[in-house]
Amino acid sequence: MTGVGIGWRPEIAAFVGALPGPAFTEVVAESLHHIDPALLPDVPVVPHGVKLSLGGAGEVDPARVRLLAEAAELVRAPLVSEHVAFVRAGGLEAGHLLPVPRSRESLDALTRNIRLTLAELDVPLAVEPIAALFDWPDDEFTEGEFLTELLDRTGARLLLDVANVYANARNRGRDPVAVLESFPLDRVAYVHVAGGAEHDGLYHDTHAHALPQEVLALVAETARRVPDHLGYLLERDGDYPPAADLVRELDAVADAASLPRIT
């Protein structure tokens, strides 16, 4: 996948459907069975799972893995993606993606769960490191080391979310470019781009606010470091702005990545 795309959501289906040239799109995997495939644009579709809990201490739920595999078949996906995160424990749903400790025990759990998932998939899997407001107290690896080891062990590819890189770096007082460079950039499958906002002194990766210049700068930094043209996907998940604003953001992503505009 090369070029710029946008995440398909029911609220912006008409906008996405009317775009003249998106390179690809992404659909929340858990919602795909409720969507009429005819509504999706005629471009590659990546099912993006949010509830598999690959980072959970227990084994992934086989029914959820099957659902992801079926979603991939339904849209003839070139690949699927999920997160380096857990979303439930002890029968409690967290309601969002939570960070895993960057420890050996956690690497073992993720490795087992990614392998169990890959065994059911006919297409590659890309895993996305998340934005997290807090860290576990006993991290043994940096994020770059942890991801490199995880991809080495499993053969999974990297879904690089530059907005997550920015959010994590900013909230920890680190240089986002240095964090970006520490990631295994030779294994990027595609890139996520999204907006966020500051709240009580912390930057929240909301997907519901405008795209900051700093995130666009990371798009450009990524394009410079990964010269094979990648796919860059804009994610928007609420407070949907007028179409003109989405067009401006998609154009800005294309320009930052030196890719053709899709609007």
| Whole-number Å distance between alpha carbons of 249 and 263 | 10
By CB under 8 A, which span of 41-49, 52-60, 67-75, 161-169 interacts with another protein? 52-60
Interface with another protein: number of residues (CB under 8 A): 30
Which CB sits closer to another protein, 34 or 134?
134
Q: Are 22 and 190 in contact (CB under 8 A)?
A: no
Residue 96 CB, shortest distance to another protein, in Å, is 6
Q: Is 90 in the site for another protein (CB under 8 A)?
A: yes
- From residue 121, give the alpha-carbon distance in Å to each of 68, 74, 78, 225: 8, 12, 11, 30
Min. distance of Cβ 213 from another protein in angstroms? 23
Helical packing angle, 104-120 and 62-74, nearest 10°: 50
In Å, how far are 64, 91, 98, 102, 206 from 94, measured between CA atoms? 17, 10, 8, 19, 17
Between CA 7 and CA 20 the distance in angstroms is 15
From 73, 105, 122, 152, residue interacting with another protein (rule: CB under 8 A): 105
The one among 73, 122, 138, 175 contacting another protein by CB under 8 A: 138
* Min separation Cβ 93 and another protein, Å: 5
Q: Cβ closer to another protein: 122 or 239?
A: 239
Measured from the CB atom, is 208 or 220 closer to another protein? 208
Residue 80 to residues 19, 22, 49: CA-CA distances in angstroms? 23, 18, 8
If one asks whether residue 7 binds another protein (CB under 8 A), the answer comes out as no
Contact 35, 53 (CB under 8 A): no
Out of 200, 227, 228, 244, the residue judged to bind another protein by CB under 8 A: 200
When asked if residue 173 is in the footprint of another protein (CB under 8 A), the reply is: no
Contact residues for another protein, defined by CB under 8 A:
56-58, 86, 88-90, 92-96, 98, 101, 103, 105-106, 109, 132-138, 199-200, 202, 204, 238
